[in-house]
Amino acid sequence: MNKIKSLEDLRKMKQNLEHGMNIREKSNEPESLVQIRVAMATCGIASGARTVMNTLVEKIEKEKIPAVVTQGGCMGYCYAEPTIEVRVPGKDPVVFGYVDSAKAIEIVEKYIVNGELLDGIIPTNYKTINDKN
């Protein structure tokens, strides 16, 4: 290991390192962040949810968007997989269906960042996973 020679060095080092810890930092304060939950049940994975998830993780990391990506079980919309649930603080949660990588990026850029409405929302009186029990 090299010695850290100054406060400046330490700060640089921190910047390089914090990247890996981001996910933990974010999980510490989930209520202040946009929460994106990717349905990762068998149906979701079969339809490409893992790719979608990777895309989302990379995208928000790259753009430094205050969001956290988690995975969830089946939401019951097997016909529309991959599905993702997006919870913007202060707003009702929204579920998008038929999400692929391109759609995922669009959701981040338009819905999350700019607050624009988007197609693809599953407009039902569904309950979120949290309300399930």
Which of 68, 27, 73 has the alpha carbon at shortest distance from 49?
73
CB of 132 to other proteins, least distance (A): 10
Return the SS3 of 108: helix
CB of 117 to other proteins, least distance (A): 26
CB of 116 to other proteins, least distance (A): 25
The residue to which tokens 């933990």 are assigned: 24
Q: Catalog residues that contact other proteins under the rule CB under 8 A.
A: 1-7, 9-11, 13-14, 16-21, 23-28, 30-31, 37-42, 44-45, 53-54, 57, 61, 68-74, 130, 133
Residue 60 C-alpha from the chain's centroid = 7
Judged by beta carbon, residue 25 or residue 116, the one nearer other proteins is: 25
Judged by beta carbon, residue 20 or residue 90, the one nearer other proteins is: 20
48-53: Cβ within 8 A, 24+ apart = 48/82, 48/100, 49/81, 49/82, 51/100, 51/101, 52/82, 52/84, 52/99, 52/100, 52/101, 52/104
CB of 7 to other proteins, least distance (A): 4
Judged by beta carbon, residue 19 or residue 64, the one nearer other proteins is: 19
